[in-house]
Amino acid sequence: MDPTLQAVLAAMASFFLITLIFAAAIIICRSRNDKSYRSRNHRHRDRGVPNPRLTSISVVDESASFDPSLSVSMREIVAATRNFSADLIVGDGSFGLVYKAQLAGGPTVAIKKLDPDAFQGFREFRAEMETLGKLRHRNLVKILGYCVSGADRILIYEFIERGNLDIWLHDSSEEEESLRLPLSWATRNKIVRGVANGLAYLHGLEKPIIHRDIKASNVLLDSEFEARIADFGLARTIDSPHSHVSTQVAGTMGYMPPEYKEGFTVATVKADVYSFGVLMLEIGMGRRPNLPMVFDGAEMGLVEWARKMVAQNREIEMVDASISREGLVECEVMEYFRIACLCANEISRERPAMRDVVELLMRNPT
């Protein structure tokens, strides 16, 4: 055989042999790694510790009650709401739908099914719910418990008989109007004081809770027209940079303080105070805060319009037209709108604290 050809064949044979050895080594290493991984995974299951490589597909299923007399589960919630039937919807808020339901052998409750894209991690959610569930104040809606199953997060609240304040102020449907009389001036003042007390309590906690979305639809009225603040703490609990709801939790158009419009979106207690001032104007005037007003032929927002009216001592003209002027005390009406404008001050630092607002309202005998 030609010496050159013989050398070429020998080189090819050597290369082929080396390739086979290298491939065999890779197969052996992979086999050992797979056995090691299966062994570690088995140990994780035995110890009850979630395998880090499987955590992303784990499913949370948990229920908790903050009322000793109440036991809740997702199965009971689904049954009570008839699988979340549209017929039982009584509210549609920023964070999800609200259903009225009768628990088996228990009370009538309000069940809020949160938007599945509107919450943070489960551990943070549970920690916040446990904090909020312990809060008790006559002007806060009680959170009775929660249920979590997979992507579903359900909150259980006490049911408040008369519904939300927005309906009482603005629902003009003939069917509903026949069932409701306009709120009297005295009742409106009672509602305002209740909201103020509830906010002062939240702001005065060791770790203050900022509501961030004070508005008429988040104020519920019980059988005695006592105000109950709803959704307190939810904006903070649900806020997440990955949530489409995060653009809404800073407030609602018409109630948001001017600093939010200027790009300062950090939540503060003074932002709640501004929203409360707007709510006072809305309650006293019966006007929605997101609709324009006209003063001397110029169109402007509700707060600016109210300031101009107060500056001209025209407070009586500001009172909701559905309220009888008989029995109104002018100085008390003037003080009411003065407090409202003080809370809705353009400058954040000049707004009073809610505890001071409560004192101002208590001094006004209306």
> Which residues are catalytically annotated?
213
Quick one: CA dihedral 161, 201, 135, 69, positive or negative?
A: negative
113 is in an annotated binding site: yes
Task: Of 111, 193, 93, give the one whose Cα is nearest residue 156.
Answer: 111
- 219-221 and 227-229 strand pairing: antiparallel
Beta-carbon contacts of 113 under 8 Å, excluding residues fewer than 6 positions away, are 84, 96, 97, 98, 99, 152, 153, 154
Q: How far does Cα 232 stand from its chain's mean position?
A: 7
Task: Of 127, 130, 147, 141, give the one whose Cα is nearest residue 71.
Answer: 147
Which residues make beta-bridge pairs with 153? 148
Task: Of 168, 179, 183, give the one whose Cα is nearest residue 216.
Answer: 168
Show the tokens assigned to 11.
Answer: 């080189």
Task: Of 166, 141, 137, 139, give the one whose Cα is nearest residue 155.
Answer: 141
Q: Specify binding-site residues.
A: 113
Q: Specify binding-site residues for ATP.
A: 113
